[in-house]
Structure 1
Amino acid sequence: MPDRELVLRLLAEPGDVNYGGKVHGGAVMKWIDQAGYAAAVAWSGRYCVTVAVGGIRFVAPIRISDLVTLRAKLVHTGTSSMHFAVEVHARDPKDGPAGDRLCTHCVIVFVALDQPEGRPVPVPAWTPDTEEDRRLADYARDVMALGRGIEPLLERAPAAGG
């Protein structure tokens, strides 16, 4: 079985910050997508695409020059889909692990595709075997169910500017 968890580390750069001097949420979402993609490809052995992100929560800011750590952990598999719980932590590199703080977390879902047709293909199944794993799998399913529940409301939303 491939590893269930992937860790990606990087330094927050000047080009990542918003007008308030903190890392832009869009940059963080890009990093989450990159970490999730690498984890999904490693698990499935296939090209993968993002199909959903749910429950994204920005808890604390990331500052320029922070060491950022993203952990993508497989928490649920479907036939061709993989759900990953992603946590984003940051710290000043001078502070060591004691300065680590949770900044963002979410669930991201990928589907494995064949190439060149781009059709969904089966992924290796994963079954939770500990209480913590079962809790994470339930959390991932609940977060994604919330997103499906809001879709009808969004479809009825009036067009912007109209």
Structure 2
Amino acid sequence: MSGAQRELTFRFLAEPTDVNYGGKVHGGVVMKWIDQVGYAAAVGWSGRYSVTVAVGGIRFVAPIRTSDLVTVTAKLVYTGNSSMHFAIDVRARDPMQDGGERLCTHCVIVFVALDGVEGKPTAVPPWTPESEDDRRIADYALKVMALSKDIEHAVASLRDA
């Protein structure tokens, strides 16, 4: 059933194979987790195979250590005709301590749903913001992706110069 799952959360322990020599989880591993939860959320919303088309505004705020309990949450914040924008939060906490979760990484990731025949973009169920918070985060997601496009154009102009 498509259009029913707006938010999805993965939880797991950071493993020794996820960390670098400094004992912190590799940024690439965190990006893999982001892509995995985003994909599952996109398929849950669209009911279709979906592909990543952009990640914007990724910020690594705090480190994740081995054995931290990691929570990766994807929340749908905007839909286009075939695209779905998700706000992603990666949080972690030491499960052996009473301390709360800390925000470690945040970004917006965009997926496009594809049809099952030709692999072409296909329509997704629309999502309409219902609250002021929904409207604020939808606007935020669009601004993040616009900034990412501006950076992409600036890099391309330097490359072409």
3-state SS of paired residue (2:144): helix
Aligned equivalent of 2:41: 39
3-state SS of paired residue (1:95): coil
Aligned equivalent of 1:149: 150
- 1:45-76 Cα distance to aligned partner (Å, 9 max, x none): 00000000000000000000001000100000
> Match for 1:128: what amino acid?
P
3-state SS of paired residue (2:152): helix
Counterpart CA distance in 1 for 2:97 and 2:44 is 32
Aligned equivalent of 2:101: 100
> Match for 2:97: what amino acid?
D
Counterpart CA distance in 1 for 2:132 and 2:159 is 43
Report the TM-score when normalising by structure 1: 0.94
- How does 1:9-158 map onto structure 2 within 5 Å? 9-96=11-98, 98-158=99-159
Residues matched between the structures, number: 158
- 1:102-158 Cα distance to aligned partner (Å, 9 max, x none): 100000000000123110000000000100000000000000000111222111334
TM-superposed deviation, 1:10? 1.2
Cα RMSD after superposing both structures: 1.3
* 4+ aligned runs moved over 3 Å, structure 1: none
Counterpart CA distance in 2 for 1:133 and 1:17 is 35
Report the TM-score when normalising by structure 2: 0.94
Query: Percent same amino acid at aligned positions?
Result: 70
Counterpart CA distance in 1 for 2:105 and 2:95 is 18
3-state SS of paired residue (2:81): coil
Relative to structure 2, which stretch is displaced further, 3-12 or 36-45?
A: 3-12
**1:6 maps onto 2:8 in alignment:** yes
> Match for 1:32: what amino acid?
I
Counterpart CA distance in 2 for 1:59 and 1:30 is 17
Relative to structure 2, which stretch is displaced further, 103-112 or 143-152?
A: 143-152
Counterpart CA distance in 1 for 2:135 and 2:7 is 16
Counterpart CA distance in 2 for 1:95 and 1:2 is 35
3-state SS of paired residue (1:151): helix
